[in-house]
Chain A
Amino acid sequence: MKFEYDIEGGNFSRAGFASSEVKKKLRQLNVDIQIVRRIVVALYEAEVNVVAHAWYGKMTVDIDEEKILLILDDEGPGIEDIDLAMKEGFSTASPEVREMGFGAGMGLPNIKKNVDTLKITSEPGKGTRVEMITYMKGGKNEKS
């Protein structure tokens, strides 16, 4: 089962709309409540990143019996140094993003904590792709 949502860069009042829709869908599909919570936290952080940094983005959610695959593809400035971006406390967020309660350099580490696999690829000047996988069984949800 696959769902797609558009994300508008810079539109802070709409940030979280797509993640909220995914949360409703996952609940309807009776996905384990702890898995839903972890996924939507990761998804929301990723969505806020797209709104904060990119011009346009697309969120794709692909669910099967084994796993949930989440992909955020954006057109934007990209990330020059992904290892640096992953460091807690590092941020290039604008004052506007900080006023919304984000931009403290905690987003990517928190995404990593909440999903089973995280893969970030980026081309500076073009955009970024964030791929996250959460397994229905045997992932971090069962280890914690």
Chain B
Amino acid sequence: MERRCLIMDLQQMANIIDGRVVANGNESRTGYNTAFASDLMSDVLTLDQENVVLITGLATLQTIRTAEMADINCIIFVRNKKASPEMISLARESGINIVECRYTMFRASGLLYQAGLNPVY
């Protein structure tokens, strides 16, 4: 069966996973069509693609820094992980959007995949 691929904006993604936008660091003009899920930041740093959405359960300052270095401008925190005020401030400064979501990484990834986001490979 052919997969329907979609470009979605921040709020559409948040709605699909019943999430909440907690930092709106940038207005993405192109929208998002690709996502990558990992708790290992070294793994994230090996990605060659741009404009990828990072789905992770690792909520630390280094998650924001990693996104900044990898040119990722949207992070979805799953498993009810919360972004600290320091993380939100760094995200805004770096032009990064953050969505918090209570679903597991598997469920959030599954829903976004079903809705049309692509894997990186």
- Tell me the A residues contacting B by CB distance below 8 Å: 12-13, 15-16, 19-20, 23, 37, 40-41, 43-45, 48, 99-104, 106-107, 110, 113, 144
Contact = CB atoms under 8 A, between A and B. Distances in A.
B61 interface: yes
A99 B59 CA distance: 10
B70 A100 contact: no
A100 B59 CA distance: 9
A110 B68 contact: no
B63 A101 contact: yes
Nearest to B86: A13
Contacts of A99: 60
Contact of B62 (A15, A23, A110): A15
Contact of B60 (A19, A43, A101, A104): A101
Given A101-B60, A101-B62, A101-B63, A16 B68 contact: yes
A106 B63 CA distance: 16
Interface stretch (B17-25, B38-46, B74-82, B101-109): B38-46
Interface string B37-57: 001111111101010000000
Contacts of A16: 61-62, 65-66, 68-69
Given A19-B69, A23-B69, A41-B69, A100 B62 contact: yes
Contacts, number: 69
Main DSSP-derived SS at the A contact region: helix
B65 A20 contact: yes
Interface of B: 39-46, 48, 50, 58, 60-63, 65-66, 68-71, 86, 94
Contacts of B43: 104, 106
B42 A44 contact: no
Contact of A44 (B39, B48, B65): B65
Nearest to B41: A101
